[in-house]
Structure formats: structure tokens, C-alpha cells
């Protein structure tokens, strides 16, 4: 999922939002209390998930515009590329956000390189995010429902003559922008970036969840008789939050709660399909989120004002964009009927570990340095996860080892006021013991100098030089 927080699912305790279908997977599988995305934003996180390589090794792994070129090398190993030689059919349905083409994409022709060049036999995607143009579905490299007489043009710098924008034409909006998101208007929603044409191809935001669900279900039905790998990348609860009418108001917590209910329903429907097709005993399911939660990510949609006592971040500090725990410490569940015994584990795992671990599962020799082979842990046969992990948030990195978390000094605001999230920036080192202080309230850097030294050295050993060079987060 996209921007779902640790505390957004019932199974992780405290959630005011009810997620019975996700909870069912958690109750029947391995629920990880220390499961991580590699990053606190989407692109780097998904880069690490698919390639098994830390995203800070790739300078372009940062929040991408819809026009960005593909950032995964076409010669690079990925989960689908690892699986293909073993006879797996590979597919992705949902959010991509890893770049497409090699610059200056013509959206009216086949767009490549993209998913198929990094190992997916089938792809049905949105290029970037729901709030970024182009707002169209792309199937195997071609825009779906494109009318050649109404070609698509995209520009992230300047508008097309005569086209309305969120900034200049507020009367055309059904959802108001709070920060950023004031360029082209599609379906009454102002977006990031400018788009012209492609009217027939434009998606209907409120139908997106049903649409991707159907795509994922169809994929399973088509490929149930062969080994398959499906990456079902749900778009919720990322902005703009556009629940289908069936879910509007259902949570009482505003749009964010409603789309989480919608996503939970999708997960239930998808699981039903696997069950109906008789695949549950033969399928490993991994449920997780690309980064932590945010309430107001740039639109007025009541998600912050109606959030009430819900804690999307769970017991953790920070949120999306943050080096504090809530940025990367996300829901993480593995489920395999009859194979994984239901249990909760504190073992530390990261999405980056899936590449080597799935390789071990299928008998492939492929491994990457950054991806630890933790198959036993994912299958619930061991509690010995990773010892250490480097996490990333908008080009800054920090380090977790055992119960300890260390954040090096970074310039920049402590709080991003637009999204109201503490980013983890401070002029001094921060050291927290998560066992005693899960909410990272007490900085032990000065009282535990030796521990700090040990952590900084271990961090630098992996991270190498130059980690102080960062780009300031701009959300405007």
C-alpha cells in the first residue's frame, strides 16, 4: 500500500479504523512488529523493494515527477527478473513511480523502457502517483483508451496555453489544494504537473481502487495454472483520497479513513479470489506499505481535522518524510495458508530483504549485498531477523541496530509545517533506545557516548562518505 502507517491496521493495535480483512491475514500469518520500508517516501522505497539495493546508492531514487526516466537499470537484478528464469510469470498492477522511458517520453507511443524492461511480463500501472500527471492507466507500455486525435502532452515546468489550473481557476475544483497541487485540473482535482489532451484516457479517481482490484484479480485468474509473481500496488491512502461512493463517510475520520476502509475491502476481495481459485495453500502473500503516514499531504480533505484519536503512526514518532521511526516502520505481514503458523514476531525485516529471501524460496542463486536472506524469518521458522538497517528519508540516512536508533545531524527544519511532521533534523546526533523509549522522546547521545560512537562507526561502515550531503525537502 501507499502511505499506510503502522497504526492504520487493527492488527497492530490501537487503530480506530477497522481493517478486518487485513487483520485476517495478520491473524493467520506472521505479523512483524519490526518491519521496515527502506525509505520514508515512495520511489526510493519501491526501488529497494524491487532491486534489493539500498536506494541511497542510486542518486535518482527520490520522489519523481511523472516525466522522470526509469531509474532501475535495465541490466539490474530485480525480483521479477530473478523469478522469470524459474518459470514464473510476473506482473504488476497499480502504482509504479520508478520512472518511465529515457527522457522526453512521447505518451502517444509505446513508452519504454519501463516495467517490462525490468522484468514484468505484464503491467497495468499509473506512471507516478495519483496526484501527478499523466493521470492515465498504462498497460504494457501503452496508454489505455488513448484517442489518437487527442494526443497527450505533459510538462512539469509550464502550462499549456489556455488550460485551466488549480491556482488560477479555483471555481473548477471539487477538491481544494493546501500546498503544491495547483497545476492542471483533472476530474475537478488539481494535480502536480501540466497535462493537455488524452481526455478519453483519463482515469476516474473514484473508480481507481475497483479498477486496480479487477486488474489484480484478472491477473490471478489468467495465470493461476502457472507459477506467478504479482506486485499488486494499491494506491491508497495516498492523496488525492477519492473513495468510491460506497465508502464515502464510512469511517467517520474523513477521506483518509474512508480510503483505508476501501483498501481493506479490496484486500478482502483479492484474498477471496485467491481462495476461490484454490491458490491460498500455494501462495506466499506479503502485505506492507511503501512509507509511513501523513494526514495533510497537500489537499484539504478533512483527513487531519477528522482524524480524532486515531494514530496512523502507531506508537512511533514522525511520519512520512521522517527519519524518526514512523517514516519507515510500517505494517508488515507474511501469510501462507498451512505453511506459516500464525504468530507475531519482533524480528527486524526490511522490504529490501525480499529479493534474496524469495530467491532462496524458489531455489535461485541470486542475492544482492544489501538484501539479507531471511526466508526462515519470513516463513515464521526463525525469529532472527536483521541486526542492522540503514533507513532513508528524502536523501538523509539514519541507522538502526538492535534496540537502538541513531540519526546523524542534519540541517533543515525540525518540523515540516505543511504536513505537520517532525522530519528528524537536528544539529546534534540523536540516539534512542526503542525498547525503553518506543516514541523516541529521550535523546541518549550525550549520556551514552560509547554506544553512539559504536553506532556512528557501524553506520559509516555501510553508508560510506558523503552522507552529510543532502537535499532539503521541498513541499510547496
Interface contacts to ligand NG6, rule CB under 6 A:
2-3, 41-42, 63, 97, 129, 131, 179-181, 192, 238-239, 291, 297-298, 475-476
**Min. distance of Cβ 465 from ligand NG6 in angstroms?**
27
Q: Is residue 324 classed as helix, strand or coil in its secondary structure?
A: coil
- Least gap, CB of 63 to ligand NG6 (angstroms): 5
Burial of 162: CB neighbours in 10 Å, binned 0-12, 13-18, 19+ = exposed
Nearer to ligand NG6, 239 or 253 (CB): 239
Cα–Cα distance measured from residue 319 to residue 321, given in angstroms and rounded to the nearest whole number? 6
| Burial environment of residue 281 by CB neighbours within 10 A (0 to 12, 13 to 18, 19 or more) | exposed
The verdict on 42 binding Ca ion (CB under 5 A) reads: yes
Closer of 284 and 333 to Ca ion (Cβ) = 333
The C-alpha angle with vertex 475 and arms to 474 and 476, in degrees rounded to 5, equals 110
Q: What residue 301 binds from Ca ion, ligand NG6, none (CB within 5 to 8 A, per partner kind)?
A: none
Looking at beta carbons only, is 303 or 356 nearer to Ca ion? Answer: 303
Residue 475 near which of ligand NG6, Ca ion, none (CB within 5-8 Å, type-dependent): ligand NG6
Which residues are CB-neighbours of 353 under 8 A, at least 6 positions away?
52, 371, 372, 373, 374, 378, 386
| The pairing of beta strand 396-401 with beta strand 388-393 | antiparallel
Can residue 2 be called a binding residue for Ca ion (CB under 5 A)? yes
Q: SS3 breakdown of the chain: % helix, strand, coil, rounded to 5?
A: 25, 20, 55
∠ CA 399-404-406, rounded to 5°: 40
Q: What is the DSSP letter of 461?
A: H
Minimum separation from the CB atom of position 172 to Ca ion (A): 27
Binding piece for Ca ion, criterion CB under 5 A, among 38-46, 82-90, 172-180, 352-360: 38-46
Is 290 a binder of Ca ion (CB under 5 A)? yes
Kindly tell me which of 89 and 97 has the beta carbon lying closer to Ca ion.
97
345 binds, among ligand NG6, Ca ion, none (CB under 5 to 8 A by kind): none
Which of the listed partners (ligand NG6, Ca ion, none) does 14 bind, with a CB threshold of 5 to 8 Å by partner kind? none
CA distance 463 to 399: 9
Q: Which residue, 317 or 320, has its beta carbon nearer to ligand NG6?
A: 320
- The DSSP symbol for 35 reads E
Q: Could you give the CA distance from residue 296 to residue 176 in angstroms, rounded to a whole number?
A: 12
| Least distance from ligand NG6 to the Cβ atom of residue 33, Å | 23
Whose cell is 477471496? That residue is: 272
392 binds Ca ion, rule: CB under 5 A: no
The entry of Ca ion, ligand NG6, none near residue 298 (CB within 5 to 8 angstroms by kind) is ligand NG6
State the nearest-atom distance from the C-beta of 31 to ligand NG6, in Å: 23
Closest residue to ligand NG6, judged by C-beta, is: 180
Q: Which residue, 3 or 205, is less far from Ca ion as judged by CB?
A: 3
Spatial contact of 49 and 352, defined as CB atoms under 8 Å apart: yes
Cβ proximity to ligand NG6, 81 vs 181, nearer residue: 181
- Which CB, 23 or 297, lies closer to ligand NG6? 297
Q: Cell numbers for 319, please give them.
A: 511520519
* Site stretch for Ca ion (CB under 5 A), options 40-48, 74-82, 86-94, 242-250: 40-48
Residue length, the chain? 476
Burial class (CB in 10 A: 0-12, 13-18, 19+), 369: exposed
Of the listed pieces 141-149, 289-297, 311-319, 448-456, which binds Ca ion according to CB under 5 A? 289-297
Binding partner at 23 among Ca ion, ligand NG6, none, C-beta below 5 to 8 Å by kind: none
β pairing state of 89-95 and 228-233: parallel
Of the CA atoms within 13 Å of residue 125, those in its CB half-sphere come to: 26
Least separation in angstroms between CB 406 and ligand NG6: 24
Q: Residues interacting with Ca ion, by CB under 5 A?
A: 2-3, 42, 290-291
Amino acid at each position: 500500500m501507499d502511505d499506510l502507517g503502522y497504526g492504520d491496521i487493527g492488527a497492530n493495535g490501537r487503530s480506530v479504523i477497522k481493517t478486518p480483512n487485513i487483520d485476517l491475514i495478520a491473524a493467520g500469518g506472521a505479523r512483524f512488529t519490526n518491519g521496515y520500508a527502506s525509505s520514508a517516501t515512495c520511489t526510493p522505497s519501491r526501488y529497494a523493494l524491487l532491486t534489493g539495493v539500498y536506494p541511497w546508492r542510486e542518486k535518482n531514487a527520490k520522489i519523481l515527477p511523472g516525466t522522470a526516466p526509469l531509474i532501475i537499470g535495465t541490466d539490474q537484478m530485480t525480483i521479477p527478473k530473478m523469478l522469470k528464469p524459474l518459470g514464473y510469470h510476473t506482473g504488476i498492477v497499480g502504482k509504479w513511480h520508478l520512472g518511465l522511458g529515457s527522457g522526453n517520453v512521447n505518451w502517444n507511443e509505446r513508452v519504454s523502457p519501463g516495467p517490462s524492461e525490468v522484468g514484468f511480463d505484464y503491467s497495468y500501472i499509473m506512471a507516478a502517483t495519483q496526484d501527478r500527471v499523466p493521470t492515465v492507466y498504462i498497460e504494457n507500455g501503452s496508454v489505455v483508451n488513448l484517442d489518437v486525435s487527442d494526443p497527450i502532452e505533459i510538462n512539469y515546468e509550464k502550462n499549456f496555453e489556455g488550460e485551466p489550473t488549480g491556482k488560477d481557476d479555483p471555481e473548477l475544483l471539487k477538491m481544494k489544494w493546501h500546498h503544491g497541487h495547483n497545476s492542471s485540473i483533472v476530474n475537478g482535482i488539481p494535480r502536480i504537473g501540466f497535462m493537455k489532451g488524452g481526455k478519453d484516457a483519463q482515469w476516474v479517481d473514484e473508480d481507481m481502487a475497483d479498477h486496480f482490484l479487477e486488474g489484480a484479480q484478472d491477473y490471478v485468474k489468467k495465470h493461476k495454472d502457472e507459477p506467478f509473481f504479482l506486485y499488486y500496488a494499491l494506491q491508497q491512502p495516498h492523496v488525492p483520497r477519492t473513495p468510491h461512493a460506497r465508502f464515502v463517510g464510512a469511517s467517520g475520520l474523513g477521506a483518509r479513513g474512508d480510503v483505508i476502509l476501501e483498501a481493506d475491502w479490496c484486500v478482502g476481495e483479492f484474498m477471496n479470489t485467491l481462495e476461490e481459485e484454490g491458490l491460498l495453500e500455494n501462495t506466499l502473500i506479503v502485505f506492507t506499505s511503501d512509507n509511513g503516514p501523513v494526514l495533510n499531504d497537500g489537499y484539504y480533505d478533512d483527513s487531519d481535522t477528522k482524524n480524532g484519536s486515531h494514530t496512523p503512526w502507531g506508537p512511533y514518532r514522525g511520519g512520512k518524510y521522517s527519519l524518526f521511526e514512523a517514516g519507515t516502520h510500517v505494517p508488515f505481514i507474511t501469510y501462507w495458508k498451512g505453511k506459516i503458523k500464525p504468530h507475531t514476531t519482533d524480528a527486524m525485516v526490511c522490504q529490501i530483504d525480499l529479493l534474496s529471501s524469495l530467491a532462496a524460496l524458489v531455489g535461485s542463486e541470486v542475492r544482492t549485498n544489501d538484501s539479507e536472506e531471511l526466508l526462515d524469518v519470513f516463513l515464521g521458522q526463525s525469529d532472527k531477523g536483521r541486526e542492522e538497517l540503514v533507513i532513508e528519508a528524502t536523501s538523509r540516512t539514519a541507522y538502526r541496530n538492535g534496540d537502538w536508533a541513531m540519526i546523524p545531524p542534519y540541517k533543515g527544519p525540525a518540523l515540516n509545517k505543511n504536513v505537520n511532521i517532525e522530519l528528524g533534523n537536528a544539529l546534534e546526533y540523536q540516539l534512542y533506545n526503542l525498547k525503553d523509549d518506543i516514541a523516541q522522546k529521550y535523546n541518549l547521545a550525550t549520556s551514552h557516548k560509547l554506544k553512539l560512537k559504536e553506532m556512528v562507526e557501524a553506520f559509516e561502515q555501510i553508508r560510506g562518505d558523503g552522507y552529510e550531503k543532502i537535499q532539503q525537502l521541498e513541499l510547496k
